[in-house]
Chains A and B, each alone.
Chain A
Amino acid sequence: MINVPSTIKIALRALRVNKMRSMLTMLGIIIGVGAVITMLAVGTGAQRRISEQISSIGSNLIIILPGSTTAGGVRMGAGTQPTLSLGDAEAIQKECPAVMHVGPVLNGVGQVVYGSQNWSTAVVGTTPAMLNVRDWGLSGGRPFTSDEVRSGAKVCLVGQTVVDNLFGSVNPIGQSIRIKKVPFTIIGILEPKGQSPNGQDQDDTIYVPVTTAQRQLFGTTFPGMVRIIMIKAKDAGQLYAAEKQITELLRQRHRIGPRQDNDFTVRNLTQTLQAAEQSSKVMTLLLGAIASVSLLVGGIGIMNIMLVSVTERTREIGIRMAVGARTWDIRLQFLIEALIMSLIGGIFGIIIGISGSELLSMFAGWPTIVSTLSVVSAFSFSGIVGIFFGFYPAYKASLLDPIEALRYE
């Protein structure tokens, strides 16, 4: 028959009497809850960004870079020396059964001019298969054909960002633009795709036939040179097989002896990103765990203050016992006091945590996501902390001897 509303009133009054102390005690919980929510928001944001990037870049991707990753035990930068050619790309398409699409790339930055407008963008020389590799569709027009690649036609596909910057309201299809002073005809518009894994605007690009890029735009150090080759495997299960087949084929084609290192690097993009996703998950948990420690410290603060409070109020406890307060009346009074502090701290902590996350994404540019789950769990955790750390002081208070408590000065 415990009178809960009255007990809450008593607890609230006790907290009000020691306003400053109660607030400082709550501060521990506020910081703890705020930190947990902010850290989880940062972690979840990073995780979400990586997953989005994985789906934006396309699935089951393998990328081949020139140069070796290890040479005689020394790590070399991949992509340093051009060793890949259009021939390699064609051979992979023909001879590797685990490979579905192959997109060779010879790219560079180029100044694009339309009328009086100009724009500097990433120009990518490639083949029509590239659109399949990247799971990239067109929002208008048509892709260039194999014939146009073979003949080195001056046609191009433009990304949405380029369209926005050069054309405004004009329909770009059929328009003529100059890329590095070479006139091209726009035949299609690439669908908007958003940011790439390293934060670049993927829509700020122009696709041209790879042969045109080689002959007219960038030149080559040897005939048929490409910078990288992107490959889409038949399915996720074939990624390893594809890697192996490609490596064997290229070693053969590049005449690399059994003791020699590769002069190219095969990288499984999907796997790399999935690993990044996995590690960002771990990071989220780690951040949350570290922040929880501060919540725990806040709980110890509550326990500390409650113990002081029990000692200070020994006489009050004695008086209550003398007029009939039972063990649980006293226990609940102090438990509720601790709980109120931790829950009020929790509410303010949530506010701080959410605004902290907002500020971080506003000023530091980190993507943050405050999930309902993190708010609910941080709040309940603060409640548990309050009960856990409030229990011992409450227990101690309830075991006082009435007459001794009354005599306490």
Chain B
Amino acid sequence: MALIAARDITKTYHLGDVEVNALRSVSANIERGEFLSIMGQSGSGKSTFMNILGCLDKPTAGSYMLDGMDIAKLDRDELADIRNRKIGFVFQGFNLLSRTSAIENVELPMLYNGMPAKERRLRAMEALKVVGLSGRENHYTNQLSGGQQQRVAIARAIVNQAPIIFADEPTGNLDTRTSAEVMELFVKLNAESNITIVLVTHEPDIAAYSKRVLRFLDGVIISDETKAL
């Protein structure tokens, strides 16, 4: 069975009398170990889809099976546990705690799975090193540049060694070189640790790192291409 099996996912927002159909009957299967990009115009529903896959949001209709579990049947705390253990999420807007040091942000997911403080710190240091932020551990996130903040967000997503990483435009604020480094990191995580990676991007260069590309338009998937090997 597919790691991620989304069937007829619909998401409708009501803004007063206006209905916004952010997703209309989207279906997709993602297998364990895949490296997948999602592309599409702004407002086409990419983030909405990612939030649902990341168990942060619930679809208006449709079913979502993650690792064989029906997400609709889980309660808040079970979802929280899934987000904690199975999913690393890099948000489009970073979503870091301000007035909090980089390392504490990276430690955050481990705060909620009972890891001892020492190991937490060690792992967070390691993750920050991986994203090239060694030496900035104690900087407050609001004192970091946009690219640095993005890297802290990535460190937080990988620190728990979750089997799935969702990254919503993880290189949006990075220069070409750093982007390439981050992408190499994802490729490595995917290849060496068999971590499933789903990322949203507008840049074909970034999408080129993945083996499969989903294209969104107005809340539907218009193409699903897998690179021929």
Contacts and interface: CB of A to CB of B under 8 A. Distances in A.
Given A3-B114, A318-B95, A329-B112, A324 B80 contact: yes
Contacts of A326: 76-77, 80-81, 112
A403 interface: yes
B83 interface: yes
B168 to A, nearest CB: 11
A340 to B, nearest CB: 18
Nearest to B54: A322
Nearest to B105: A319
Contacts of B156: 323
A61 to B, nearest CB: 70
A1 B76 contact: no
A319 B76 contact: no
A403 B156 CA distance: 18
B144 interface: no
Contacts of B117: 5-6
Interface residues of B, number: 26
B97 A323 contact: no
A315 B95 contact: yes
Interface in B70-100: 76-77, 80-81, 83-85, 89, 91, 95-97, 99-100
A406 B56 contact: yes
A403 B56 contact: yes
B142 to A, nearest CB: 12
A327 to B, nearest CB: 6
Nearest to B51: A403
A170 interface: no
Contacts of A315: 95
A316 B80 contact: no
A17 B54 CA distance: 31
A3 B56 contact: no
Given A1-B114, A6-B117, A329-B112, A324 B85 contact: yes
A327 B114 contact: no
Contacts of B91: 322, 406
A6 B111 contact: yes
B77 A323 contact: no
Interface in A1-45: 1, 3, 5-6, 13, 17
Query: Which of A5, A13, A315, A321 has the most C-beta atoms of chain B within 10 angstroms of its own C-beta?
Result: A321
Top 8 A-B pairs ranked by shortest CB distance? A324-B84, A323-B109, A324-B112, A403-B57, A326-B77, A1-B114, A326-B80, A403-B56
18 contacts: A3-B111, A3-B114, A13-B100, A320-B108, A321-B83, A322-B56, A322-B83, A322-B91, A322-B95, A323-B84, A323-B112, A323-B156, A324-B84, A324-B109, A324-B112, A325-B80, A326-B76, A403-B56
